[in-house]
Structure 1
Amino acid sequence: MRQAWFIAATLSVSMLAVAQQQPKVINAQFHTESAGAGLSATVNTLQHSNGPLWLGYEVAAVPGSHFSMCSDDSDSSADNGCCGVYRLEDSNNTFHSSDHDQTTPASIAVLVRIDHEAVDKVRFIRSGCRLDAGGLPFTWLTDVKADDSVAWLSSLVTADNKRHTDQALAAIAMHETAKATSALVSFSASTNPLWLREKTAFWLGAGRGHDGFLALKKLEDDSDPEFRKKLSFDLSVSHDPSAVDDLIGMAKSDKDVGVREQAIFWVGQKAGKKAVAMLKDTVENDPEVGVKKKAVFALSQLPKDEAVPELLHVAQTNPDAAVRKDAIFWLGQTHDPRALAYFEQILEK
């Protein structure tokens, strides 16, 4: 009796696991197919089917990711990041960062549109979200290995037409497997075009956590100042606690004035005690007036209760007239009574 109960319970759990792997697809000619022969080979076979059609598969999601993918007029905060029904045939589906949503998806569904015997679109969404295929055939692939997925998506990144680069890089960044970080690191190498390196570095910062931060850290000595300017933004979007220290280091010590100015701007957006201390030090000690003025602007972007006292201090004490002038200008934009009182003092002299 117990044995029969155990077998029945095991079968029920197994059937539930299988059911959970099936996506919630409506308005579709739905069927499943194994990708056991390899994802690339399976997609290649499906590309020779009569299109258009959609295919999809599931892989584990990178820990700590918070996002939603939404149809045109959907509410990005609704349905636990699912935005209601995700309409695959909508032309303007958009990615939303969802830091306010503390739920991390265990897996994502990678979604691919095939038409005219070629990949037409690549998207991804939280597993379990409802999909509307717009009446097209939809093939759900089972037995997909995450590393195979990264390899196949990487082939889209390096394709000659560049059509799917952004979509493929974003999807790679959402994969849990360490191969995803390795793939992004390879695309960020100095041997690649600047446009590809910049796009890749963003996803290392935005999507790969600590490993992504470590990869960005290795790029801080890159010889191209234009790349390092963009790198300061990538550090600013990283969720790794150490990223702000590296951003501050870039703002203080990079040999290129333009890079320091750009890094200072993003330091100002981070706020916090470390950031404010760095900005104050820059106003006082950086050898370039332009960099000092960038730091004054960054101070002006702090919350008013922090910004006004700092700007007043600069306006009253900085030895450089151009820097004091900038501080006075930004004080005027605050419309704060303390700033108005200071202006009255100046006019009375």
Structure 2
Amino acid sequence: MSTRQWELVKSPVVDISIDLIRLSRIDSNERRFDADFYLSLKSCDEPVSIETIDFTNAERSPIGGTRLITSNMIHNGGVGPKFPPNVRVYKVSGTFQFNPELETYPFDTQRLSVSFQARKVASPIFIQPLAQDLRRSGGDLDGWRLRDEYVGSEQDFISTIAANGTGRHLVPIHKFNQTWVAQRISIDYYIRVVVPLGFILLVTYFSVFLPPARFDSTVAIQVTALLSSIALYLALPKVDSDQATLSDGMFIMTYAAVALMIGLTILKDSAILRAVGSLRYAVIGLQRIAFPIATVVATLQLIALADRDGASMWMVLQKLQSSIVG
């Protein structure tokens, strides 16, 4: 019920249920995703169709500006043997917008929402989502893992001129959203990025065991490792983010580690450190002891992230083996 000029105006209440079928083409750069779901509408006052619902975050066509949504009625609300009466069921497919948060990419979790409200503000309807214990969780996600889902609501206002022309009049708008919390499956990232970076660091570490007479070879190997890590970064698909991601941080740490090894190699064979033996042995200790310890600690952190992501290192190794055999 709503009030206007001290009169009670009856607004129909619509029970709504969204049963997810599939989420696909989740694109962080384009900030959109495709969703297929079943939409059920029920009203005790009068029949309500999908035309009374406006999906506010649906993508618009560049030609005509229409919403990129298609719907197919499965049940018209009549009495039948399979569907309950007064419930209209639609199969809906559309493209929807979202705001990605990419600070923890590629281990990021995104909130994918389908937002809706009454199409006509002048003739409002109250949308009532299904209770949480009655909603069915599930659906297929392409390249992602469903972690959670929930229904949220918010209220907005349209500020306009009051009837007497001397003040402001606020018209409330009730918005609702069905949100799915999805986590990116990052096994491919481990295969394409983490494993190659691990080998680059391993080769860099083994190069410090070459004899001093092979100084040129040692530096050449380490410089090649640095250039390889830079080339790997440039070959990766770029993520459109206003700030550095966790992936960027991994590469920056790799650059710093390899560059530090190059600098320590040069210092180790400098005339100054040769004159002070204790300093030279300290540099050797940094290269042969501190470097592998720091690498192992970073690897354990990545393993922890993989387990949290649901992709155990055993799964990563299995996929790596299949890639090599294939």
> Normalised by the shorter chain, which TM-score bucket?
under 0.3
- Higher Cα Rg: structure 1 or 2? 2
- Compute the TM-score of the two structures, normalised by the length of structure 1: 0.23
TM-score under structure 2 length normalisation: 0.24
